[in-house]
Structure 1
Amino acid sequence: MPWSAADIPDQSGRLALITGANSGLGLETARALLARGASVILACRSPERAERARQQLLPDARDGAAIDLLELDLAHLASVRAAACQLQDRYGRLDLLINNAGVMGLPRSLTRDGFERQFGINHLGHFALTLALLPLLRGQPDARVVTVTSGAQYFGSISFDDLQGERRYDRWQAYGQSKLANVMFALELQQRLDAEAAGVTSLAAHPGVARTNLQPASVAASGSWAEALAYRLMTPLFQSAAQGALPQLHAATAPGVRRAGHYAPDQMGGMRGWPTEARVAPAARDPEQRRRLWQVSEELCAAA
């Protein structure tokens, strides 16, 4: 039988933080965890959208499950640091971190810290957030970090000589780079956690082709009629956001997941279906490149 949200074990007493939880995959992930008793922190850039999501989710929360809001702008590392401090002050612990938020296929622009926006939000923001929250995860039973990537990882490469796309920028190459970086980070994080016996599991997941606000935002930003047409033609392939959220929910909750495991849909080459363990991009399996990305990420975050 395929794994579904009905198979999520009881989450009573667990505290989960989900980035980008006001819509799409993040919203559906929050809904499923609340229904199983977890308390969920919606970490979002817009407090207004986060509050609307909270109101929408309240009927799904099981007795004992709470919904909290945390303002978080992954495009501004000062906001990331402030959010981590607030979480420390409010709770002093965390059981589950789901690095879900992201942007896709944008024309070149910069974060407030001067990073190319897709690399800065999708990778560096979550890199900094995870490291800041690790002290809250250490020592918690079955603590997990789930980093959400996409199928674009398989076409991505890390342009170490031009990470910010200053010399040459292609918005889809930049997206693929950021999604490959997500997987490389998840694998390298597990290796480092194991080296210090931290007792935290790092995993990666991708949703396949799921209907969220990423695709319309990307088409609108491009202004391309060809992309708009392609999006309409692909519409029958898209699965719901709730279905697309299953791989990250499986990684976050299923018993017996493999440390540094990567989960994705099981049909049509990972485009849709039910969660299963899937191969990562070959480039992500190079430990030297993973260590290099980690070092560069640390340096960039420290300088911001």
Structure 2
Amino acid sequence: MQSVLKPVIGPKKEIHDLNGRVALVVGGALGIGYEISRAFALNGAHVFMVNRKEDQGQDAIDKIKEEGGQNVKIEWMPCDMGNLKQIKEVFTQFREKQERLDLLILSAGINANQYGETADNIDRHFQVNWLGQFYVVNLLFPLIRKTSRLPDTPAPRIVFESSEQHRSVPSTGVHFASLQEINDPNFGNLYLYGRSKLAMILGVKFGLLERVIKPNNDNIYALAVHPGAVNTAMQQQWKDAYPGLFGKMVTAAMLAVGRDVEQGSYSGLYAATSPEVEEKGWNGYYLTNPGESGKESAQASDPQLGAALWDLSERIIKDKVGKDALVDWDSAAS
């Protein structure tokens, strides 16, 4: 419905001149990530898209260059957020090769779907939606910090695509205490999805902001956003999550009321580029629409839960990749 009435209702697009800036969009060749990659590239940024499949990346590049011309700066990088060792290899190489990184968008995701585990034997919702992207931020943070110290440079932005579905997690249902808790197949599909989106809000607010940015006096902004119910291919996953008539009904309902994909990118574009974010001091915030600060759930406002998530995330990565897997959060690229 919102997509049909796009000129009348719904969020407004905000995007600014990005000439000279470098952006990396995880999940950047499909859905919301594609629309963000497209907007960045058409407004002058050098964009790197990250997805698993090369054909998706090439299709995205072809479409963007057809629209913006062959001089548009857009590249594709392969990586699976369900493989922590691959993440380390890909993003370590990126950090060592690049001179700057102004915008980091974390939009890879699995919708509410049936329980399954990644190659690392971790709940796939938790790893793809949160843990893998958290690891990307860690590996790239020295480069982002270096960029923030360049003269005449706007504050770099880190944006996670979260969701209002973080409210679907029961008030006593999550502790982020152990991998065993994360890998409980008895949790429902909405819980698994909602928990991963809750993690994004907690990680931004009580992790990146409180543990990294503030202690180092970094001129870096980290935010989580809600894109709205968006008509992407992810909506088809309801059919997998709930086989039969119910799944088909939920899919049809979500597609009927959802925003189109371009509209779904507007919250992320605002968080990544709008001067208002700095003017209003919205570091660590959760935004539900462009220019609208959201009211997150009580769990998403719990500093102890945020600390537990951060500590568990670091423990899992070290266990799966090695004791030296994580980059020192206080370091800067040379």
Q: CA deviation at 1:200?
A: 1.3
Q: CA deviation at 1:62?
A: 6.8
Counterpart of 1:187 in structure 2 is 205
Counterpart of 2:176 in structure 1 is 160
**Residues 167/75 of structure 1: CA separation in 2 closer, same or farther (3 Å cut):** closer
Whole-angstrom distance in 1 between the partners of 2:188 and 2:241: 14
Aligned residue for 2:295, secondary structure, equals coil
Whole-angstrom distance in 1 between the partners of 2:257 and 2:195: 24
CA contact 2:168–2:190 (8 Å) conserved in 1: no
Deviations 1:121-149 (A, max 9, x none): 11110111111110110032311100110
Matches within 5 A, 1:74-153: 74-140=81-147, 141=153, 142-153=155-166
Stretch moving more, 246-255 or 64-73? 64-73
Two-structure CA RMSD over aligned residues (Å): 2.0
Deviations 1:49-69 (A, max 9, x none): 111111111134478641011
Whole-angstrom distance in 1 between the partners of 2:137 and 2:71: 26
Whole-angstrom distance in 2 between the partners of 1:64 and 1:12: 13
Whole-angstrom distance in 2 between the partners of 1:245 and 1:18: 12
Counterpart of 2:327 in structure 1 is none
Q: CA deviation at 1:28?
A: 0.6
Deviations 1:75-109 (A, max 9, x none): 00011111112212331321110001100122111
Whole-angstrom distance in 1 between the partners of 2:249 and 2:94: 43
| Equivalenced residues, count | 295
Whole-angstrom distance in 2 between the partners of 1:78 and 1:113: 9
Q: CA deviation at 1:205?
A: 0.5
CA contact 1:31–1:61 (8 Å) conserved in 2: no
Q: 1:73 aligns with which of 72, 80, 89?
A: 80
Do residues 281 (structure 1) and 297 (structure 2) align? yes
Aligned residue for 2:50, secondary structure, equals strand
Residue identity matched to 1:128: Y
Counterpart of 1:212 in structure 2 is 232
Whole-angstrom distance in 1 between the partners of 2:123 and 2:102: 31
**Residues 209/3 of structure 1: CA separation in 2 closer, same or farther (3 Å cut):** closer
Counterpart of 1:263 in structure 2 is 287
CA contact 1:16–1:39 (8 Å) conserved in 2: yes
Residue identity matched to 2:313: S
Q: CA deviation at 1:152?
A: 0.6
Q: CA deviation at 1:3?
A: 6.6
**Residues 4/13 of structure 1: CA separation in 2 closer, same or farther (3 Å cut):** farther
Identify unmatched segments of 5+ residues in structure 1.
266-273
Q: 1:4 aligns with which of 12, 28, 35?
A: 12
Counterpart of 2:223 in structure 1 is 203
Counterpart of 1:56 in structure 2 is 63
Aligned residue for 1:195, secondary structure, equals coil
CA contact 1:73–1:80 (8 Å) conserved in 2: yes
Residue identity matched to 1:259: N
Counterpart of 2:37 in structure 1 is 30
Q: CA deviation at 1:120?
A: 1.0
Matches within 5 A, 1:41-52: 41-52=48-59
Identify unmatched segments of 5+ residues in structure 2.
1-8, 148-152, 321-334
Whole-angstrom distance in 2 between the partners of 1:234 and 1:13: 38
Aligned residue for 2:209, secondary structure, equals helix
Q: CA deviation at 1:159?
A: 4.2
Whole-angstrom distance in 1 between the partners of 2:24 and 2:90: 11
**Residues 8/252 of structure 1: CA separation in 2 closer, same or farther (3 Å cut):** same
Q: 2:195 aligns with which of 168, 177, 192?
A: 177
Whole-angstrom distance in 2 between the partners of 1:33 and 1:20: 14
Aligned residue for 2:214, secondary structure, equals helix
Aligned residue for 2:217, secondary structure, equals coil
Residue identity matched to 1:155: S
Whole-angstrom distance in 1 between the partners of 2:285 and 2:182: 29
Whole-angstrom distance in 1 between the partners of 2:58 and 2:262: 20
CA contact 1:12–1:65 (8 Å) conserved in 2: no
Deviations 1:248-268 (A, max 9, x none): 110000003111122223xxx
CA contact 1:190–1:202 (8 Å) conserved in 2: yes
Q: Using structure 1 for the length normalisation, give the TM-score.
A: 0.91
Q: Using structure 2 for the length normalisation, give the TM-score.
A: 0.83
